[in-house]
Amino acid sequence: MKLVERFLNYVKFETTSDENTGVTPSTPTQMVFAKALEQELHEMGLSDISLDDNGYLYATLPGNVTDKQVPTIGFIAHMDTAPDMSGKDVKPRIVDYQGGDVVLNAEQGIVLEVAQFPELNDYVGQQIIVTDGTTLLGADDKAGIAEILAAIEWLQEHPEVKHGDIRVGFNPDEEIGMGAHKFDVEKFGCQWAYTMDGGAVGELEFENFNAASAKITFKGRNVHPGTAKDKMINSIRVANDFISMLSRWETPEHTEGYEGFFHMVGIKGTVEETTLNYIIRDHDRKLFEQRKCEIQHLVNRINAEYPDCATVELKDQYYNMREQIEPVMHIIDVAEKAMERAGVVVKVQPIRGGTDGAQLSFKGLPCPNIFAGGMNMHGRYEYVPIPSMEKAMQTIIEICKIVAE
């Protein structure tokens, strides 16, 4: 099965994750996909194939180098898609892109517009895979899975190409921040690995946000509005006061590069009780800690005016992997050299988000992130250029060659 064929098959599986279930995998559809991949790995003839009860799937392509020791390396991708938009009944379509807007769904008036997504201009003359505008596509990260297995198949078909043991790992629940939590690093048995989970062709990432979540609850006092003077406490209004205390400029829509932010991702309220959900992000660990302190400080300010009104739950989610990668920068050198051999212009940049590789790096498996090619992830305008997927596949092959050399 070839690269594009694999990908088009994989996106037919609904694998949306759900942070509210409290189980792993968070949705049963992910296990359905994991079992299909397990069967595919058996058909490919890989060894050490194992699928655990939590939906973590591992396998090995044995090495063919006999005259020296070659490090065992791994390639990892996640099976789930983001809960931001439906991943059910995905209808992918290949477009020969010659420029201009792409009509995804004429009936519903859904158009992939160059004015909104100018990066489309980089892919004129290429084939791109799009949705019908009613779902996300799932290139994040089924493109990564397809690229890994297509590269493994290529190595099997070219036994003259020398490589060490190659481990592959596919995990659930990356999109809800739980992908690496139950990943068995010891069982995986690699000296280092790469997640194939980046965006545009050429991206190479080994530093990411430090991340935390904040759930702030405001307790109000409901009294009939006709007699509410000096008695009512409207938790919705108090929550609004809190929102206005945070800088409007330190939000995702006003930041880039290494700049951190506060991002409100949910609000639910009545007069009696209102809850705000934030994510807190910063590349700099010191500034990250200051941001968490700022949230607590503002909660204290609210309570100074409305005693015992506000409470906050702060939870760290992951940290910047850079501090784990810097001692082993040769693995970045390998990736850069592989990209160059594959004819890819390397773009080293920070991840303005998280990745399983960050958590895995802190669990003892250094794991930078390499592009998988997907664009506009998590929404109806997601697409992936086929040449970008091919370059990702070639990069994996070149990494395997370089490590063996």
The letter for the amino acid at 320 is N
Residue 84 annotated to the active site:
no
Assigned architecture for domain 3-207+320-404: 3-Layer(aba) Sandwich (3.40)
Backbone torsions φ then ψ of 31, nearest 5 degrees? -70, -35
Which residues make beta-bridge pairs with 210?
282
User: Which residue is it, tokens 């595919």?
Assistant: 40
List every span in the chain annotated with CATH 3.40.630.10: 3-207+320-404
Q: In whole angstroms, give the CA distance from residue 201 to residue 197.
A: 11
Q: In whole angstroms, give the CA distance from residue 196 to residue 396.
A: 9
Which residues make beta-bridge pairs with 212?
280, 316
Q: In whole angstroms, give the CA distance from residue 36 to residue 50.
A: 13
Task: Judge contact between 206 and 332, C-beta under 8 A.
Answer: yes
Q: In whole angstroms, give the CA distance from residue 376 to residue 265.
A: 19
Helices then strands, counting H and E runs in the chain, come out as 10, 17
Assigned architecture for domain 210-318: 2-Layer Sandwich (3.30)
List every span in the chain annotated with CATH 3.30.70.360: 210-318
Please tell me which residue in 132, 147, 174, 282 is annotated as part of the active site: 174
Q: What is the pTM of this model?
A: 0.87
Please tell me which residue in 14, 38, 80, 382 is annotated as part of the active site: 80
Instruction: Please enumerate in sequence order all residues whose Cβ is within 8 A of that of 92, keeping only pairs 6 or more positions apart, or say none.
Output: 8, 11, 129, 130, 131, 137
How many other C-beta atoms lie within 10 A of the C-beta of residue 336?
14
Which residues make beta-bridge pairs with 347?
203
pLDDT at 198: 87
Q: In whole angstroms, give the CA distance from residue 347 to residue 168.
A: 24
Residue 80 annotated to the active site:
yes
Per-residue pLDDT tens digits of the chain, which is 405 residues long: 699 999 999 999 999 999 999 999 999 999 999 999 999 999 999 999 999 999 999 999 999 999 999 999 999 999 999 999 999 999 999 999 999 999 999 999 999 999 999 999 999 999 999 999 999 999 999 999 999 999 999 999 999 999 999 999 999 999 998 999 999 999 999 999 999 998 999 999 999 999 999 999 999 999 999 999 999 999 999 999 999 999 999 999 999 999 999 999 999 999 999 999 999 999 999 999 999 999 999 999 999 999 999 999 999 988 899 989 999 999 999 999 999 999 999 999 888 877 788 889 999 999 999 999 999 999 999 999 999 999 999 999 999 999 999
Strand order in the sheet with 273-282: 261-269, 273-282, 210-219, 310-318
